[in-house]
C-alpha cells in the first residue's frame, strides 16, 4: 500500500509526500545498476576532474543553528557555488562528458588509444576543432557543456526552451557557444537537440537518457558522483537522511548510488524533491513506472523544470529512492532567503532557486508530524543536502531574495 501525505491549504508551505513502494534499504546493488555507476568509473572521474586547473573540493557547511531550530541533530549543506567558477555542480558532469567524448572521437580518428592528458593539454587541435557538441538545457548543464567545449577546443551549440531566462542565455554564450531558443518546454528542446545532431553529425552531451541514448549520460552522472564522494568524505558521521532535488534525476541517482555502494543496507533514507509544477518523480513513483508530466512545466525552479525522468536515473532511484516530495515555488524562495539571512551563528549562503528544493523538502517534512513519522525524521536525524547552484542568474536572485548575491557573500 502506498503512503501519500498531502497538505493542500493554498499556502506556500503546501506539499505532497509519497513513499516509494518499490524501494527498500536491503535491495541489492544490481549488476545493471553497477553498469551505470561504479567505483572504477568514479576513480577515473576523480583522477580526470582532479587534474583540471581550478579543481578544489567545494565546502560542506554545518547549519548548526538551523538544525537546533527545526529539531534535528545536524544539517550539512554541500555548497556547489564555487565549483570551477560556473556557480553550479553541473561543471562536474557536462564538461567531464565532453572530455570523455572527445577522447573517444580522437582515438577513433587516430586509430590508437588517447590519454586524457592529450585532451586536457590540447594535443590534437585540428581534430577536436572539427567536432561539434550540443545539448538542451535549462541553463546550468548547457553552461557546463559550453565551458567544456571552450576549454578543450571543440564547437558547441546549446538549445534552450521558451522560459529559460536571458541572463542564463547570455551566460552560456559567454563561453563561446551558439545558443538556439526553441518553442515548447525542456523536453521539447531535448528532442530538437537530438534531431539536429542526427541531421548535422553532431554529438549530444545530455544529462538525461532515453532509448538509444545511454552512454554519454553515464559519464555526466559519474562526474556528479564526485560531488557526493567529496561530501561523504567530508562528513565525520554518515547522514541518516539525504534530501535531493531531482529534475530528470541524474544528480539524485548519482548521490543515491554512491550512498548505496558505500553503506549498503545501512544507507541513509533518500528523499527526492520535485517542483509541484513538474513533479515527474512523484507521478512515476505513484505509477510504479516512468511517467511524463505534460504542459509548460512553469516553475521558478528552472533547473528542475523537467517533465520526463531519465531512464538511467530511474534504474537507480526505483530501488534506492525512498520517497519524493513535491513543493511550491514559494517554498524554494523561502529557503533561498533563509540561507541568505540565516540565524545568528550560521553562515550566509548564496543559493539559486534550483539549489534549495532538498532543503525546502526537509523543512516541509519537519513541519508535519505524519510526514516526519513516515520518514523517521526526528531529533536524532543527521541531514545532508546539496546546494547545487549559487546565483546562476544574478538578476533573478536579487529579485527573489531582496539583495544581491555579492551583498550576501560580503556578510559572510
Annotated catalytic residues are 90, 138
String of DSSP letters for 144-176: HHHHHHHHHT-EEEEEE-TTS-HHHHHHHHTTT
Query: How far from chain centre, in Å, is Cα 192?
Result: 22
Assess contact for 337 and 203: CB atoms under 8 A.
no
> How many helices (H) and strands (E) would you count in the chain?
18, 12
Residue 160: all three cell numbers together? 534552450
Strand order of the β-sheet with 178-181 is 178-181, 155-160, 132-137, 203-204
Element (H, E) at 397: helix 394-401
Distance CA(169)–CA(303), nearest Å, equals 13
CA distances from 259 to 117, 193, 252, 253, 341 (A): 30, 33, 11, 10, 31
Residue 87: all three cell numbers together? 556557480
CB-count burial class (<10 Å; 0-12, 13-18, 19+) for 235 = middle
Query: How far from chain centre, in Å, is Cα 365?
Result: 21
- Among left, alpha and beta (phi > 0; psi -120 to 50; other), residue 39 is alpha
Assess contact for 75 and 67: CB atoms under 8 A.
yes
Amino acid at each position: 500500500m502506498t503512503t501519500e501525505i498531502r497538505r493542500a491549504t493554498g499556502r506556500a508551505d503546501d506539499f505532497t509526500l509519497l513513499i516509494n513502494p518499490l524501494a527498500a534499504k536491503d535491495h541489492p546493488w544490481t549488476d545493471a545498476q553497477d553498469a551505470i555507476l561504479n567505483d572504477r568509473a568514479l576513480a577515473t572521474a576523480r583522477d580526470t576532474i582532479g587534474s583540471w586547473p581550478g579543481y578544489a573540493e567545494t565546502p560542506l557547511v554545518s547549519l548548526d543553528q538551523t538544525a537546533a531550530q527545526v529539531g534535528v541533530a545536524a544539517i550539512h549543506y554541500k555548497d556547489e557555488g564555487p565549483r570551477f567558477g560556473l556557480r553550479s555542480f553541473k561543471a562536474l558532469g557536462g564538461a567531464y562528458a565532453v572530455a570523455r567524448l572527445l577522447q573517444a572521437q580522437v582515438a577513433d580518428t587516430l586509430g590508437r588509444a588517447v590519454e586524457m592528458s592529450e585532451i586536457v593539454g590540447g594535443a590534437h587541435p585540428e581534430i577536436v576543432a572539427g567536432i561539434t557538441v550540443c545539448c538542451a538545457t535549462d541553463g546550468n548543464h548547457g553552461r557546463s557543456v559550453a565551458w567544456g567545449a571552450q576549454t578543450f577546443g571543440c564547437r558547441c551549440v546549446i538549445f534552450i526552451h521558451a522560459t529559460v531566462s536571458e541572463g542564463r542565455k547570455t551566460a552560456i554564450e559567454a563561453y563561446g557557444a551558439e545558443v538556439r531558443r526553441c518553442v515548447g518546454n525542456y523536453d521539447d528542446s531535448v528532442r530538437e537537440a537530438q534531431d539536429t545532431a542526427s541531421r548535422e553529425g553532431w554529438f549530444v552531451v545530455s544529462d538525461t537518457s532515453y532509448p538509444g541514448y545511454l552512454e554519454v549520460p553515464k559519464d555526466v552522472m559519474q562526474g556528479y558522483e564526485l560531488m557526493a564522494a567529496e561530501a561523504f568524505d567530508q562528513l565525520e558521521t554518515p547522514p541518516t537522511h539525504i534530501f535531493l532535488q531531482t529534475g530528470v534525476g541524474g544528480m539524485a541517482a548519482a548521490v543515491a548510488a554512491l550512498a548505496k555502494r558505500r553503506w549498503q543496507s545501512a544507507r541513509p533514507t533518500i528523499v527526492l524533491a520535485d517542483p509541484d509544477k513538474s513533479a515527474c518523480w512523484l507521478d512515476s513513483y505513484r505509477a510504479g513506472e516512468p511517467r511524463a508530466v505534460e504542459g509548460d512545466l512553469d516553475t521558478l525552479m528552472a533547473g528542475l523544470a523537467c517533465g520526463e525522468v531519465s531512464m538511467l536515473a530511474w534504474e537507480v532511484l526505483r530501488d534506492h529512492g525512498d520517497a519524493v516530495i513535491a513543493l511550491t515555488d514559494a517554498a524554494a524562495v523561502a529557503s533561498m532567503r533563509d540561507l541568505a539571512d540565516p540565524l545568528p551563528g550560521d553562515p550566509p549562503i548564496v543559493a539559486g532557486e534550483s539549489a534549495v528544493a532538498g532543503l525546502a523538502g526537509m523543512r516541509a517534512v519537519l513541519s508535519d508530524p505524519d510526514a516526519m513519522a513516515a520518514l523517521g525524521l526526528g531529533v536524532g536525524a543527521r541531514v545532508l543536502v546539496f546546494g547545487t547552484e549559487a546565483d546562476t542568474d544574478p538578476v533573478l536572485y536579487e529579485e527573489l531574495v531582496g539583495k544581491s548575491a555579492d551583498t550576501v557573500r560580503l556578510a559572510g
